[in-house]
Amino acid sequence: MQIVATSPQATNVTTRPLVRVVLVEDDHDLRQSVADYLRLRAFDVTEVDSALGFYKALNESEFDIAILDVNLPDASGFDLARGVASGKRMGVIMLTARTGRDDRIKGYEEGADLYLTKPVDGEELALAVGNLARRIHQAGARPANTTVSTSTVAGQCGWRLERERQRLTSPQGLSIPLSGREFMLMEQLARSDGATLSRAAIGALFGHVNPDPESRRLDAALRRLRLKAKDAGTDLPLQSVHAAGIRFTGALEVV
């Protein structure tokens, strides 16, 4: 057990808005301990144990706060933090056993709002979640169920990612059918708002365990996606960033 359990303070938690938290931690006992404590403090907690689970959760729900472990089985929590921060949708708390100065600096560089180390005091974590969520709400964070779009690029606008039909539609109205993982990839690119999505994060979306940044399987998956677009009569505005990942350079609306 790596959470320091302290008795919840006699705080009136019913007067604040519901705060939705996604907790990403592959240690089952720790994840359950943290989630149970936060629920006692009236937070709505979704538990996942991998990067793939995190992306699936984001596709299904909106969250105010992401609590991320760094050492996940299929990607780095730093990659997840970068994607969240680029989309400016949630507050990010890193919760990790990595206590080194370089790790802390990297966490903040990748977009973490707070960097907490294990073992964590339950009361401290609950207060951190509540305070961060309040600042995000006060700053006018994007409300739930709004669409996400990337920066508009001249000549490349009007792409639509349709949840119900699981397809991508070009500005000319051409439809590209997507697999479940291809859809998750496109949604994460939309959330990235034009920023680069790392190869490790993409590999996790395609179900590659411990993805190799140079994996040919990953390149093949991206090639299939581009071929689908060509078969539909269009080209995807996907830009490869050497040794980093890919980004979507057109405007993309999720509906």
Q: What domain range includes position 22? A: 3-138
Tell me the per-residue pLDDT of 131-147, one tens digit each, with 9 for 90 and over. Answer: 999 887 776 644 444 34
Q: Are residues 9 and 127 in the same domain?
A: yes
The residue with greater pLDDT, 209 or 148, is 209
- According to the model, what pLDDT value does residue 214 have? 52
Q: What is the mean pLDDT of residues 56-63?
A: 87
Q: How far is it, in rounded angstroms, from Cα 1 to Cα 142?
A: 35
Last residue of a domain, one of 106, 138, 170: 138
Residue type, 164: E
Q: Find the CATH number of the domain harbouring 124.
A: 3.40.50.2300
Is 113 in a helix, a strand, or coil?
coil
Give yes or no: residues 76 and 13 share one domain: yes
What CATH number is attached to the domain comprising 239? 1.10.10.10
* Average pLDDT value for residue range 200-209: 73
The number of distinct structural domains making up the chain is 2
Residues 172 and 134 in one domain: no
Three-state secondary-structure class, residue 146: coil
Residues 14, 125, single domain; the answer is yes
Establish if 147 belongs to a structural domain. no
Q: What would the pLDDT profile of 140-195 be if each residue is shown by its tens digit?
A: 644 444 344 444 333 344 789 988 888 999 888 889 999 888 888 888 888 877 78
Question: Residue 227's CB: how many other CB atoms inside 10 A?
Answer: 11
pTM: predicted TM-score of the whole model, two decimal places: 0.61
Select from 72, 106, 138 the last residue of a domain.
Answer: 138
Same domain? 91 vs 194: no
The pLDDT mean for the chain works out to 81
Residues 21 and 86 in one domain: yes
Residue 143 falls within a domain, yes or no? no
Q: What share of the chain in percent tops pLDDT 90?
A: 28
pLDDT digits (tens, 9 = 90+) for 95-124: 999 988 899 988 888 888 999 999 889 999
If one counts every other C-beta atom within 10 angstroms of the C-beta of residue 215, the result is 17
Q: Give the DSSP letter string of 4-54.
A: E--PPPS--GGGSPP-EEEEE-S-HHHHHHHHHHHHHTT-EEEEESSHHHH
